[in-house]
Amino acid sequence: MKGAPVQRRRTRQRAAIRAALEAARRPLSVAEILELARRQVRGLGIATVYRAVAAMLEEGFLTPVEISGEALRYEVAGRGHHHHFRCRRCGRVFEMEGCVPEVELLAPPGFLPECHEILLSGLCRECNKGLSR
Amino acid sequence: MKGAPVQRRRTRQRAAIRAALEAARRPLSVAEILELARRQVRGLGIATVYRAVAAMLEEGFLTPVEISGEALRYEVAGRGHHHHFRCRRCGRVFEMEGCVPEVELLAPPGFLPECHEILLSGLCRECNKGLSR
DNA sequence: ATCAATGCAAAGTCTTTGCAATAGG
DNA sequence: CCTATTGCAAAGACTTTGCATTGAT
């Protein structure tokens, strides 16, 4: 159901968007991407970000990270299985390594778990430090 | 900063909304609440659902359940700590008992986890049964 | 020279708000 | 009666789409 792979073109906009996502090392929302990428491409339009993100998701460069109610975020794909930590103070979302596969044992009888997501919330290092001293 | 507790009134609309949430035994989205509650109160407006949900959140009757990207859902509060299972086939979200507190050990050094969410995805009992036979 | 990609503005969604009418206490 | 609540419609916030123009190849 998927036509030709569509030939992409390298544009300043998409390069900036890609760079922002790679540099961030954490999931970014469209608004965050726009803000960061605009530093390199002034006048960058929000629609362009949405379209670029859609294209990058399609090509598999990005993966959606859907954090609780908040705006959908995107991160560079292929970083392997991992989870996230959201800081309740600064609102940023960070990647965490490691996993606790046993969580799938929580599934009720008859249910078939195929994958899982773990999200911790609290204070990130910076905010934790800032408050405690 | 919170004025008087505000006196609530018992209306057919809110009763229907409350009943829908209690009967469902699982987190419902605003759209789901509207659909279910309309069976009892025809002409129920979506704005009323939003306002009722907001009021119920404020009084602590409901808790928001923010499942990955999808619409925010709400469930009756006070059922104790638990997690959720989302069926990728029928889209419903179920409650799961139990917990794996060790997940908080995943937090990076310096980070202070305060709470966590675990979401399993896969097939619910009905969908799993339906497919395997 | 092509046509993918862009920027702007219009169009959609979903959620919130304004307001006159309704109805609970 | 008083005013919280409702339903409708208008207003917002966020995302998608249409289209003429730009720019990568």
3-class state of residue A127 by DSSP: helix
Cβ within 8 Å of residue B72, ≥6 positions away: A69, B29, B30, B64, B65, B66
| % chain A with pLDDT above 70 | 92
Residue B109: the pLDDT is 96
Tokens of A80: 């392997």
Residues of chain A with pLDDT under 50: 1-3
Residue A87: the pLDDT is 87
Domain map (residue ranges) of chain B: 12-76, 82-128
CATH hierarchy code of domain A82-128: 3.30.1490.190
How long is the CA B77 to C1' D10 vector, in angstroms?
33
Residues in chain A closer than 8 A to B116 (CB atoms): 118-121
Q: To the nearest 5 percent, what fractions of chain B are helix, strand and coil?
A: 35, 25, 40
Single pTM value for the model: 0.81
CATH hierarchy code of domain B12-76: 1.10.10.10
Locate the chain A residue with the closest alpha carbon to B123.
A112
The CA distance from B118 to A119, in Å, is 7
Q: Name the minimum distance, in Å, from the CA of A39 to any CA of chain B.
A: 28
Strand order of the β-sheet with B83-87 is A93-96, A83-87, A112-123, B112-123, B83-87, B93-96
3-class state of residue B76 by DSSP: strand
Residues in chain A closer than 8 A to B104 (CB atoms): 120
Residue B68: the pLDDT is 63
Would an 8 Å CB–CB cutoff place A125 in contact with chain B? yes
Give the H or E element holding residue A46: helix A46-58
Residue B67: the pLDDT is 73
